[in-house]
Each structure stands twice: as C-alpha cells, then as structure tokens.
Chain A
Amino acid sequence: MTVVASCAMAGPRAVRVKHRLRWGAWLLSAIVLLVVSMLLGAAIRARIMNAEVFLAYLTSEQVLLGARNALILGTLALAVASVIGLVVALMRVSGNPILAGLSATYVYFFRGTPMLIQLLFWFNALPTMFQRVHLAVPFTDIVLLDAPTTAVVTPFVAALAGLGLAEGAYMAEIIRAGILAVDKGQRAAARAIGMTEAQVLRHIVIPQAARIIIPAGGNQYIMLLKSTSLASAIGFLELLRISTDIYSSNFMVIELLAVAAFWYLVMTAFATAIQTALEKTFPQR
C-alpha cells in the first residue's frame, strides 16, 4: 500500500509516445508507383495512340450510337433479369419441391454455361424451333403479330433474351439471399397482425431484402453493361462491334479500343451513381 501511495505522490512523469512506422506499406506504395510510371512511360515513348484520332472518334455519330445501344441493351437486360430473378428466387423458397427443383436447375444451367454460347444459341435455335410467330387474341379474329421468326428474333431480341436469361440466374441467387436475410420472426409477426403472404412479401420482406440486393445488383448491372459487347458476335451494333468495324478499315486499333473503353467507363459511372442513390433510399437499419 505504501508503495502505491508514494508513486501517486510523485505525480505522472512526462513521456513521449512513439508509434511503429508502417514501413512495409510505404515500400509497397513506392514500388507500385514506380511500375505504373514505367508502363506509362513505355506507352508514351512508343506513341501507341494518336490523341487527335481518339478525340475525333470519341464523339462520332457511329460510336455514340453504339454506346447508346449498349446502354439500352444492358439496362433492359437487367430489367428482364430482375423479373426472372424474383420469380425464380420465390420458386426456390416456396417450399414446393418441384418449383424449388426447377428453380435450382435453371440457375445451374444458365449460370453454368458461357453467356456467349447462350447468345449464339438463342439467335440460332429460336428460328429453327418456331418457323413463324403468330400472336392472336383468343376467340377473335384479331391478329397482333404474324411474321417469320427470323424477322422477329433480331440480333437485339436474341441478345436481350440471352443476357436477360443468363443474368436472371445470378439475380435469382442474389434475391434469394436477400429474402433469406429477413428473419423469420418478422414474417411471423407480420402474419400475426393479419397480413396475407403477398402483403408480408410486399411490406416486410422486399423492402428489407432490397438493402442486400441493391449493392450486389449494382455490381451485376456493371457486369451486364460490359457483357453487351458479347452481342457483337451475333451482329448487334453495340459499342465494341462498331469500334472493331471502324478499326478493321482504318487500322487505328488502340485509338478505337480506347474510345470504346472510355464509354464503358462512363456507363459504369452512371450505374454506380444509380446504385449509390438507391442505397441512400434504402438505408441499412
């Protein structure tokens, strides 16, 4: 006891505090900066790109058309994928063994095969499977559409179907994870106050699942915008197809690839902005 008392009497002695230097991180920073500047230097010395050509094509009519087509295709495909994903996710959690099995099979097939194969498949298979598309209102003579399938399944329609169906499998898994994250207790409470299953879904499950779905969904939107470049394989005039068409005639390969990359980056920024805004609308509680 006396020892403690004498220490307290002496009062605190002034000391300096010196923290460890995180030298490893600084060293790594230096190495990365060095490598990046070497790469940039090599690119500039080799004059890999003509800036004037790059700027000229950046806002050319053809390129803008390609960018617009890519944005429209990617966005519509996300919408299709979200609807498919919701239905498939609900089938999976329905508790019905046949619905759950079908849903799991769908996800396995469409997530397990390359998107490019799926796009080529729909573009070639649909016109073979159905010769003509005939849409009529039942019990009347009104015909809404009657045309050969090859005229209906344009590269755009085939690309939309292919991307939407493939992406739907990913969205199904994301939405399922979101639904499962809403605890059973809240669902029981909602049913106990007399909500029907549909109301529980709409008022309790989906608003909370959205908080989990949105960040992952934003990621998928970005992936999908870039995957529209696959549609070049079936002749859809999107950004990459137009850029390759141009450089195969004028050989300005790097310039046109840079132009395409620039617009993909713009689209990604757009998707990120939407995601950030939605995350603010549905904050985590």
Chain B
Amino acid sequence: MDSSIKAAAVVLDSVSKSYGAVEILKNVSVTIAPGEVVTLLGPSGAGKSTLLRCINHLETIGAGRIYVHGKLIGYREVGDTLHELSDREISAQRRSIGMVFQSFNLFRHMTVLQNVMSGPTHVLRAPKAEAEALARDLLARVGLPDKADRYPSELSGGQQQRVAIARTLALAPSVMLFDEPTSALDPELSQEVILTIRSLAEQGYTMLIATHEMAIARDFADRVIFMVQGEVVEDVSARSFFTSPRHERSRQFVARHAG
C-alpha cells in the first residue's frame, strides 16, 4: 500500500457515487492529515453530506476507494474487485469514525446519560460503571454535567447537539465527521455548538466539517474544500480561500457568504 495512504487520516481516492442517473460525487479525491480540521463548503446539493456518509459507509460508493488511517472502508479488495464487507465488519470500522448529524439524532427513549453511554455499553461492551464515569466526564466537557438524567425532548437544540457530540466522543474516534452541525440551530445556539467544536479542534481531533457556518471555516479550520455539483472545485488553506478564491464559483460564494 502507498505510504501516503497509511500516514493520512482520511483518503478519498477517485470516489464516485450516483443515485440512478444522477451523479452525486464525481471522481472526488481528498487527503486529510491527522489532526487537520477541514471544512467542506458549497451550495446545497453539492454532495457534502453524501461525501461524509460515504466515509463511514452509511452510503455505498460506485467507484474509487476510501481509507481511514490506512484501512479500506466498507470493502475488501480481491484482485481488481471490491467486495462489500459484512454488517459486523462495517460496524467494527465505524466505531473509530465519529459522526455528528444536522438533526442531532439523539435516541429519544434514552436519557442524556444513556445516550452517551450507548456506544461504550452496547458496542464496546464496557462495564457499566466505567461507561458511566466516562459519560459523566464527557458531559462535563461539553458543558452539560447537570443534564445527565434529562430526556432529549427536554433539551434545547444546542444542548442536544452537544450531547450528540459527547455520544460520539465516547467511542474515542480517530476521525470526526460533522454533517452541518449548526444548520438546525438559531445563531445563539449555533454559537455554543461552534465553541464545543472549536475546543475539539484545539485538542487535536481530526475533523471534517460540512457546514454553511463561515465562522467555523474562517476562525479555526486549517483547510477549505469547496464543492459544486459533486466535484471538488477548490482545496486550499482556509486563509487563501477567503482572501484569494481562485475559481469563479468560489469567488461568488465567498462574496455572498462572507461579505
């Protein structure tokens, strides 16, 4: 295997995906180094969410390969064919890839504490006391130590999203994927979620964040990947994306959103 694939946190190598005749991802190649914070920008329908969902194989791909820390995701390569892995094998791969969703997706029948414990107890089969200690610690880190016994419906959107982040962290993922984490929140609640994500960036997590929130891209992302209609149009440092966008589409996008 190529040593650059082994060293990288995430590699997308010529990934394509279509739904019927509609191409969602067109030959996308992206490499993300360990510890890097990358934002995925672009208009709605650009394929940002699909790209993230392919990385943990919530979506299958039509062509290409995806590696996370050197491991081929979702498939086994035999000769010149990719065979899809079993449910059990894919589940095992997903444990090290955290994902945060636009609509939080907390388990509504579980308390906040049970939500955060769900990964360690059901997936890793960790002892209950150990899982609970970890969960309480994580809830403190996202600023919600007093909400442990509440149900998701009793929390604000921003609080729910922070619980979702804690639930993801409980599995100590090596990569974190964020699918528009603040799009369902008003500006004030967005702010508390952005601060939580920012503190993760400072702790050195590798993160790929699809977002419409310019503050994330400008203030603490290392890199911006700009997508339009399933293609990567620009893949540059965050600074140069905002100061000197090279392509016509990115220029328009920056002018409209960052003005």
Binding site for B on A (CB under 8 A): 183, 185-186, 188-197, 199, 203-204, 207-208, 211, 282, 285
Contacts and interface: CB of A to CB of B under 8 A. Distances in A.
Contact of A193 (B95, B108, B151, B152): B95
Contacts of A183: 105
A203 B58 CA distance: 19
B84 to A, nearest CB: 14
B92 to A, nearest CB: 7
Nearest to A202: B122
A186 B108 CA distance: 8
B101 A188 contact: yes
Nearest to A211: B109
A192 B151 contact: no
Contact of B119 (A185, A188, A193, A285): A193
Nearest to A183: B105
B135 to A, nearest CB: 13
A106 to B, nearest CB: 26
B198 interface: no
Contact of B105 (A189, A196, A199, A282): A189
A197 B151 CA distance: 24
Contacts of B105: 183, 185-186, 188-189
B190 interface: no
Nearest to B53: A188
B94 A203 contact: no
- Please list the 7 inter-chain residue pairs (A to B) with the smallest Cβ-Cβ separation, ordered nearest first: A189-B105, A194-B95, A185-B105, A192-B99, A193-B119, A194-B123, A194-B94
B123 A207 contact: no
A3 B109 CA distance: 57
Interface string B83-124: 000011001101101110101111111000000001100110
Contact of A194 (B53, B101, B171): B171
A181 to B, nearest CB: 11
Contacts of B56: 192
